Amino acid sequence: MKSSKLIVFDCDSTLSSIEGVDELAALRDTDIKRQIEDLTNQAMNGEVPIAEVFGKRLELIQPSQEMVDKIGQMYIDTIVPGVVETITTLKEAGWNIAIVSGGFTPVILPLAKHLGITEVQAVPLFFKPDGSYDGFDTSAPTTRNGGKPEVVKKLTTHYQADITIMVGDGISDLETKDTVHSFIGFGGVVARPQVKDSSEYYTEKFSEIINFLPKPA
């Protein structure tokens, strides 16, 4: 059987140096931004379940189509150094590449397109005809803890991958550790001690990820 390999990236604070939800909040006002950052950090540090903060953050932010477009561009403007080159190298080496994120699909798609990544598993948003916020897809797995491992497992099956690698900065990424060949903690944007301590590999330099991958036989 032809072997297939899959590498999965988190998006926020991994491929891009922003947290999309925080920046969406900042477009509303600074007080909402502070509240959202607190909620996000609590979730990323594993202090509160993701599902608990998910709807709450969106109700506060009310992201419109226009806001989504702005932050979509910001993701591209704040790409982490080394990402473009590393993704190119991975493609040339035959890796399937996916983004799995608890962020919002319409905000992430421009960055994915920019990087030539077609597999994006995140949280769809809905808009009213006038472009105002109309809710999110509550069935999206990454709106809750345990969502990322579920998605990574599905992708592994879909790509018939015998090697799957996960790269990310957060606790929700670390949750995939038992479902992947190896978990690479990335601390180049936010260094989380809990992730660093539990990662099989850990780096603060994105291009170093290549050194942690299994070498072709």
Active site residues: 10, 12
Q: Which two tokens stand for residue 21?
A: 């939800």
Tell me how far apart the alpha carbons of residues 169 and 6 are, in angstroms, rounded to a whole number.
Answer: 18
Choose which of 12, 22, 23, 175 interacts with Mg ion (CB under 5 A).
12
Q: How far is the CB of 41 from Mg ion (least distance, A)?
A: 11
Query: Cβ-count burial of 144 within 10 angstroms (0-12 exposed, 13-18 middle, 19+ buried)?
Result: middle
Angle at 14 between CA 174 and CA 58, to 5 degrees: 85
Q: Which span (23-31, 45-53, 168-176, 192-200) binds Mg ion, by CB under 5 A?
A: 168-176
175 binds Mg ion (CB under 5 A): no
Q: How far is the CB of 131 from Mg ion (least distance, A)?
A: 27
Q: Which span (47-55, 116-124, 151-159, 165-173) binds Mg ion, by CB under 5 A?
A: 165-173
Q: Which two tokens stand for residue 185?
A: 């903690």
Of 76, 149, 173, the closest CA to residue 115 belongs to 76
Of 209, 182, 215, 148, the closest CA to residue 10 belongs to 148
Q: Which residues contact 68 (CB under 8 A, 6 or more apart)?
A: 24, 104, 106, 107, 125
> Taking CB under 5 A as the rule, which mask of x and - marks residues 115-154 in contact with Mg ion?
----------------------------------------
Which one, 15 or 64, has the nearer CB to Mg ion? 15
Tell me how far apart the alpha carbons of residues 6 and 121 are, in angstroms, rounded to a whole number.
Answer: 14
Choose which of 147, 170, 187, 188 interacts with Mg ion (CB under 5 A).
170
Choose which of 10, 22, 23, 175 interacts with Mg ion (CB under 5 A).
10
Tell me how far apart the alpha carbons of residues 196 and 149 are, in angstroms, rounded to a whole number.
Answer: 19
Q: How far is the CB of 103 from Mg ion (least distance, A)?
A: 8
Q: How far is the CB of 184 from Mg ion (least distance, A)?
A: 13
How many CB atoms neighbour CB 8 within 10 A?
A: 27
Choose which of 6, 7, 8, 13 interacts with Mg ion (CB under 5 A).
13
Which one, 64 or 206, has the nearer CB to Mg ion? 206
Which residues are at the interface with Mg ion (CB under 5 A)?
10, 12-13, 169-170
